[in-house]
Amino acid sequence: MLGKKLVTAQKRGETRALCLGLGMVACSMMMYFFIGITIVPFYTNSVWTTETVCKVLKANIKEKVFCPNSEGSEDEEIFPYPCLQVWVNLTASGQEVMLYQTEDTLERNPKCSYIPDKLENSKEVKARIETIASNFKKYQTFPCYYDPGGTQTNVILSRLYPSKGLLFAFLWPTLMFTGGCLIIVLVKISQYVSVLSAWQ
């Protein structure tokens, strides 16, 4: 009687462990799919792939512009911000080009180098942009990214998804997939050993 209970408990444990392993594998596959349709296209479509050194030529704050999230939206009328324009000397080619914070900055507003987060207090936005402008004037040289193919003549300060970030994004689903496969293999080995012991 006790032996039957132990066998039943063992089978239940194996079933739960097998379900856990399969669930981990399924979740990791979903994470791979999500990363593949969101982060990977941004990484592969970015032409700013080569790192170089940029030297600040001028950093000016122009008149206020409206938030360009989408044309005709109500947010454009309630979120004006000062337009910071930073021009740098590209060491790789010696050209005078405009600097943008990321690839997204250029797409949202090609007139400004920096787009602040939406804040209710316009004084905070102005103070932040003035601080960024003073930092550019203080630190004249810094690493930046440019397009070696020449499709884009401007440069960006940082990539949205660098190589390290992409590897880090794939790290967690890989660990989960490996753990799930390991659990499944251990359950199968346990079942094989149990069958072999019973047969003997």
The yes-or-no verdict on residue 3 having pLDDT over 50 is no
Arithmetic mean of pLDDT over the chain: 81
Tell how far CA 198 is from the center of its chain.
Answer: 52
Task: Report which listed range, 62-71, 73-82, 139-148, is most confident.
Answer: 139-148
Phi, psi of 83 (to 5 degrees): -95, 115
Task: Look up tokens 């207090």; give the residue.
Answer: 121
Mean pLDDT for the stretch of residues 23-44: 89
Per residue in 168-184, pLDDT tens?
889 999 999 999 999 99
Q: Are strands 50-66 and 141-146 parallel, antiparallel or unpaired?
A: antiparallel
Q: Which residues pair with 51 in a beta bridge?
A: 145
Per residue in 68-110, pLDDT tens?
544 444 444 446 788 899 999 987 677 889 999 998 888 888 8
Predicted local distance difference test score (pLDDT) of residue 76? 44
Instruction: In whole angstroms, give the CA distance from residue 178 to residue 81.
Output: 48
Mean pLDDT for the stretch of residues 39-55: 85
Predicted local distance difference test score (pLDDT) of residue 79? 63
The yes-or-no verdict on residue 5 having pLDDT over 80 is no
Q: What percent of the chain has pLDDT over 70?
A: 83
Q: How far separated are the first and last CA of the chain, in Å rounded? A: 21
Phi, psi of 95 (to 5 degrees): -85, 155
Write down the domain spans for the chain: 50-161, 163-199
Predicted local distance difference test score (pLDDT) of residue 198? 66
- pLDDT classification of 44: cutoffs 50, 70, 90: confident
Between 61 and 70, where is the model more confident?
Answer: 61
Per residue in 111-125, pLDDT tens?
889 988 766 577 888
* pTM exceeds 0.85, yes or no: no
